[in-house]
């Protein structure tokens, strides 16, 4: 049963109840989805340019939605009745009481970082993994991921023991289905490919039947993708090299980030517009977002692109 009398602790500049400044959109959605009863949510974003404007989660039935009384890190909203609005539209002072003797009653509260709610300071993420820069160096037939904050690395060809020792235990393990082809033969001592899932790092690691890393998938958690909300955003910086084991002198283009568009990648890598993609429907059944497109402009690297031209994921494979 829901607790109608629950009280949320308010800390100006920090949080309102379970909603903390600096938490990721995944954490905010998790709080809302696990409340009882569940109320409808509306997520507003720019479908053509999801990184241009702020993303807004609205829950009118919860009361997330006058004049403002502002403090450092917080602002209280008071409605002014229509019949009294003409008295105060040209005044800077806030009324302590209306002409009829009634007192303003607060109807909302905003908590933000800094002293300006319209241009708040960028808060530090609450989770240490969220927003961590991951430098990805892709070489011919090899790749290395460097997690800058945790001083950890990940490479194609590693064993599960090496991966877990470096970046920690996976949240879950997913095994691919048996080959449905009746003509295929799988040796008893060999196992199918399987994934180690790291949603908090925004990536999946796939192992082949020899227990070697054969594929690494980096997720952007971009709005407009059917898997939005499943992973944190991987804050990668991808460098594509032409010579194995070199630093940055031989990179083909500027670093590729989650905000880089497919058009920018095409220009940087001098990719022909005739490059044909593979249509990817995510295998998630009916959803309003449509299919995405997978391009392999260079060996060992596959870009999943949404219809608006933004990256949904980057897959690094061992060939």
pLDDT in 10s for each residue of the chain, 319 residues? 344 556 788 887 788 888 888 888 888 888 888 877 777 888 888 888 888 877 888 776 665 545 555 666 777 777 777 777 777 666 666 666 777 777 777 777 777 777 666 666 666 655 566 788 999 999 888 899 999 988 899 999 999 999 999 999 999 999 876 444 444 444 444 458 999 999 999 999 999 999 999 999 999 999 988 888 899 999 999 998 877 665 555 676 789 999 999 999 999 888 877 788 898 876 655 667 788 999 999 888 999 999 999 999 999 998 7
Residue 233: closest CA among 312, 315, 173: 312
Q: How far apart are CA 137 and CA 248, in angstroms?
A: 9
* CA end-to-end span of the chain: 54
Domain boundaries, the chain: 1-64, 69-125, 133-179+189-317
Contact 244/212 with Cβ under 8 angstroms?
A: no
Instruction: Give me the torsion for CA of 206, 211, 212, 218, rounded to 10°.
Output: 10
């Amino acid at each position: 049963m829901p607790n109608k009398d629950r009280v949320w602790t308010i800390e100006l500049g920090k949080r309102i109840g379970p909603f903390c400044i600096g938490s990721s959109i995944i954490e905010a959605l998790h709080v809302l989805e696990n409340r009882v009863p569940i109320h409808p949510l509306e997520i507003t974003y720019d479908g053509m340019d999801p990184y241009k404007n702020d993303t807004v989660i609205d829950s009118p039935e919860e009361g997330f939605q006058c004049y403002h009384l502002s403090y450092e890190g917080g602002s209280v909203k008071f409605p002014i009745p229509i019949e009294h609005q003409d008295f105060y539209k040209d005044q800077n002072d806030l009324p302590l009481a209306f002409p009829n003797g009634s007192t303003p009653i607060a109807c909302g509260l905003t908590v933000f970082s800094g002293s300006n709610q319209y241009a708040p300071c960028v808060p530090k993420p609450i989770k240490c993994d969220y927003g961590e820069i991951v430098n990805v160096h892709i070489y011919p037939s090899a790749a290395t991921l460097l997690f800058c904050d945790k001083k950890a690395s990940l490479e194609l060809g590693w064993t599960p023991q090496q991966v877990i020792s470096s970046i920690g235990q996976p949240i879950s393990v997913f095994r691919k289905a048996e080959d449905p082809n009746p003509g295929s033969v799988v040796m008893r001592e060999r196992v199918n490919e399987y994934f180690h899932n790291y949603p908090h790092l925004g990536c999946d690691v796939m192992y082949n039947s020899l227990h070697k890393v054969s594929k690494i998938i980096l997720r952007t958690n971009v709005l407009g993708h059917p898997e939005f909300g499943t992973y944190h955003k991987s804050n990668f910086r991808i460098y594509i090299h032409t010579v194995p084991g070199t630093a940055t002198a031989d990179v083909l283009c500027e670093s590729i980030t989650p905000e880089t568009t497919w058009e920018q990648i095409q220009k940087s890598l001098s990719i022909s517009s005739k490059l044909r993609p593979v249509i990817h429907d995510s295998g998630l059944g009916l959803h309003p977002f449509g299919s995405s497109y997978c391009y392999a402009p260079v060996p060992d690297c596959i870009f999943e692109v949404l219809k608006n031209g933004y990256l949904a994921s980057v897959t690094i494979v061992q060939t």
